[in-house]
Amino acid sequence: MTAAQTAKLTLGPLLFNWSNEKRQDYYARVADEADVDTVILGETVCSKRTPFQEPHWPGLIDRLQKGGKEVVLSTLGLILSSREMNDMRETVADENLYFEANDIAVDDMLKGRPHMIGPMMNVYNEGTLARLAAGGADRVCVPVEMSGHAIGVLAGAGIMDVEVFVFGRMPLAIAARCYHSRIHKVPKSNCRYVCGLDNDGLAIDTLDGKPFLTVNGTQTMSYTVSNLAAEIPEMLKMGVKSFRISPHDVDVVRIARQFRGIIDGTADPQDLLDETDGLIDGAPNSNGFFYDEEGLKYKNAE
Amino acid sequence: MTRVARDPSRPVTTLELVCPAGTPAALRTAVDAGAHTVYCGFRDETNARNFPGLNFNRAELREGVAYAHDHGADVLVAINTFPEAGNLAPWHRAIDDAAEIGADAAILADIGLVAYARDNCPNIRRHLSVQAAASTPEGINFYAREFGISRVVLPRVLTLPEIKELNRHTDVETEVFVFGGLCVMAEGRCSLSSYVTGKSPNKTGVCSPASHVAYEEHGSGLDSKLGGFTINRFAEGEPAGYPTLCKGRFSANDKVSYLFEEPVSLNLLTMLPEVADAGVTALKIEGRQRGKAYVEKVVRAFRKAVDALDRGEQLDAAAIADLTEGGRETAGAYKKAWH
Amino acid sequence: MTTPPFSPILMGGLLLRAIPPELVQPVAERLARRLQDRHPGIFERLAPLGPRSFAIDVTDLPWLFLLSVAEGEGHVEVRAKSDETAADARIHAPLKVLFGLLDGSIDGDAMFFTRDLAYEGDTEAVVALRNALDGADVDFIADIASAFGPLSGAAQAVAEKALAGFSRAEADLAAVGESLIQPVVRRTDAQARRIEELEERCARLEKALRRVKTMPT
């Protein structure tokens, strides 16, 4: 069996605060039509969003599994209160589910159980990977700023399956502060869920009008849209086992189909790159992190 | 090695003052000004203040440790970046050397590296760097149980009540930032700098590196730029700041503001009684990139304050106002209203 | 540029203007060698950057000092103020600020926040130079004095006295200078603000246009 036949496609957790209706429609379509192997549900950005989604998870999980998808439930990236910690403990208590940890405390709760490590955890080298594997982790989606060289080392180490974030605005930072609240001049404690106004995040500009970053509640993201389509053939050779598409307000079925074509060697990455350039908010593609350069850059492969 | 024991008259309740030393000269200055402990790093990518012209080679660290120990102060060595995949040796060597030289603790962030230190240099204390982003008792207790860490440096995103609560649920000593530059994002989880410049705190030990900074005069003012992006604009005569990218002015929904954080400096001098009450062990002063003049002034003021606190006296905050960026200060996340 | 500092050295500088750079060169060279001998760490700390040059414009002296650093060694050349030799960085500051930076009695960051020091060009090199100087425990007066050889004791006393008197005179002159220059500064500020407002409006329009262009059809 060749590497290409084993590489999988993952739909990452939805990072934005969509309305229930929009989210339900999106995942219904994913369940029925999207050619992805794994779908990750769960709230990773802000615990205040969770209560609106949680009741829908059992139904969504059921529907996605019936559509032939493996379902993973992800967890919070920054845990600040004992209430949030208790919520996490209750969430991961479900022994029938496979979880993604984005904080060392959640990884520790999952000790001895197979689970995956999300891209918000600092996994930069084989030493750390080996420690996490000893705790039960068997898959890792590496941090977005990881270089292609480092990805190659980790994928080649054979410690656990390596997944790479290949499409979407990149989560770059998380804070206790909520920037959507600050922009809308509402207190975080009574935020009125203003982050829900921007389906792909709120782009911010420099003083001279140049687009700079994207704000998503407590999370700060890239303005550019990461697209590693052209690097997939190289990553397949490195032994990368799966590729993560991050949900956006775009046709996910179409994007997934194109990525599948690239993995299978039947589609030209350039076609997808041309299509996604400017697709979200006018933002360009980027792949700089892969080349150990500025993450916002797009560098044409040799 | 001769070692002067800690002043026996020092009350056991005393908060330990942990002070920055970017250079051997700053180390001596900090010790002379009353630092109980100084922290520093090697002159390479193993520490999170890998700035040009700063830090210690092995011989300088050896001399620095001797000087500090002769004066009853401890030395912590920050080895708090994340080792590069396939190239762990420089980080391992940094731990080996810090232990051999006789530093009192290594400040570490990477899980693999903490494990290495426990297995290979068990005699040097292990402190968990703020870059490890351990913000919960559960996270901290994981590092204590698995790797025997003695102390954790807490992220600047926690409030004092949260810190107090946290201290009730862990036996690990806690160290909090009380003065200097303020990270508004959860430390160790921020790739903003590498997005704009290709260099990040986690990978290369720098944030908003000087190599990517430019100041441009225009009309009546000055633009500060990072990686070609305008981070801030200053009118003639207005105090200008360094373009740390989360401390700039940006436009959202066509309104300009200090969106992430104002260019203010953290100062908890007047809140030390509350900090002590929250159960912390050590107070950390940020600023290994700052000069001796800054170190001397801030350390002296804080030492005076810690000593005053021990005697139950009032504190005096006026002494440090002119050292802060643009003269403005904040209690940051320590006060809930900041969120 | 920032308001020109009115300082006793500036006043003295008017007299010094008659002295050509060639005459100052041997003194500067001697000082640089002295610094190198007594504090080799300064140039060693700069070595990782590779060869770098700094044009140091002491705003209250009539000369420009061109400092070049390579492989752990430094050289100084004295040039006329008008000299436009390319340098990696140009630093502008009054003598007192430069002395303070050298001996660590002034914090570089704080200095920049208040804009008593300005520079253009390679920020990394400037920061490295500042860090290296700060890390060296330079006692500048003693170092200058020792460069004068057997007379050093007397030279040191003179230098210390000069600096002390200079601080007092400077405070008085700064007030005079401010009052002379302020009205002009205010007028140009107002014009610049108007230009900036227009620039901002242009930028907003450009942005609106960009968003319209990228709107899905």
Chains with at least 3 CB pairs less than 8 angstroms from chain B: A, C
| B2 domain-assigned | no
pLDDT tens digit string along B271-316? 899 999 999 999 999 988 888 888 998 999 999 999 988 888 876 6
Q: Tell me whether residues A208 and C211 touch, CB distance under 8 A.
A: no
* Enclosing domain of residue C13: 8-170
Q: What is the CATH number of the domain that holds C105?
A: 3.30.1050.10
User: Which candidate from A85, A128, A215 shows the least CB-CB separation from B252?
Assistant: A215
- How many domains, chain C? 1
Compute mean pLDDT per 10 residues along chain A, 302 residues long, and list them: 70 97 97 97 96 94 96 95 94 96 97 97 96 97 97 97 98 95 93 96 95 98 98 97 98 97 96 96 97 96 64
| C77 domain-assigned | yes
Ranges of residues in chain C whose predicted pLDDT is under 50:
1-5, 150, 171-185, 216-217
Chains with at least 3 CB pairs less than 8 angstroms from chain A: B, C
* Enclosing domain of residue B238: 192-257
**Beta carbons within 8 Å of C77's beta carbon, 6+ residues apart:** C25, C28, C65, C66, C68
- How many domains, chain B? 2
A146: tokens are 């990881």
Q: Is the pLDDT of residue B326 over 90?
A: no
pLDDT tens digit string along B62-76? 999 999 999 999 999
pLDDT for the residue numbered C155: 56
**Beta carbons within 8 Å of C90's beta carbon, 6+ residues apart:** C54, C55, C56, C57, C119, C120, C121
pLDDT for the residue numbered A197: 96
| B229 domain-assigned | yes
Do B289 and B149 share a domain, yes or no?
Answer: yes
Do B77 and B202 share a domain, yes or no?
Answer: no
Gap between the Cα atoms of B109 and B48, Å rounded: 10
**Domain finish residue from B232, B257, B282:** B257
* Chain A residues inside the 8 Å CB shell of C207: 205, 209
Fold exhibited by the domain A3-169+225-291? TIM Barrel (3.20.20)
pLDDT for the residue numbered B320: 55
What are the residues facing B294 on neighbouring strands?
A: none
Please give the average per-residue pLDDT across B100-112, as a whole number.
98
Gap between the Cα atoms of A150 and A156, Å rounded: 10
| B169 domain-assigned | yes
148-207 in C: which are within 8 Å (CB) of A?
Answer: 203-204, 206-207
Please give the average per-residue pLDDT across B328-339, as a whole number.
68
pLDDT for the residue numbered C160: 60
* Chain B residues inside the 8 Å CB shell of C206: none
The minimum CA-CA distance between C145 and chain B, rounded to whole Å, is 22
**Domain finish residue from B257, B284, B305:** B257
What is the three-class DSSP state of B21?
A: coil
13-52 in C: which are within 8 Å (CB) of B?
Answer: 45-46, 48-49
pLDDT for the residue numbered B1: 40
Do B168 and B196 share a domain, yes or no?
Answer: no
B21: tokens are 């030393």
CA distances from B224 to A42, A197, A296, B215, B333 (A): 40, 32, 19, 5, 26
Q: Tell me whether residues C191 and B220 touch, CB distance under 8 A.
A: yes
pLDDT for the residue numbered C206: 67
88-147 in A: which are within 8 Å (CB) of B?
Answer: 103-105, 107-109, 120, 122, 124-132, 143-146
Task: State the DSSP H helix or E strand holding residue C154, giving kind and residue range, or none if neither.
Answer: helix C152-214
Q: Tell me whether residues A209 and C204 touch, CB distance under 8 A.
A: yes
| B130 domain-assigned | yes
Task: State the DSSP H helix or E strand holding residue C75, giving kind and residue range, or none if neither.
Answer: strand C73-80
Do B240 and B314 share a domain, yes or no?
Answer: no
Q: Is the pLDDT of residue B131 over 50?
A: yes
Do B227 and B283 share a domain, yes or no?
Answer: no
* Chain C residues inside the 8 Å CB shell of B26: 134-135
| B4 domain-assigned | no
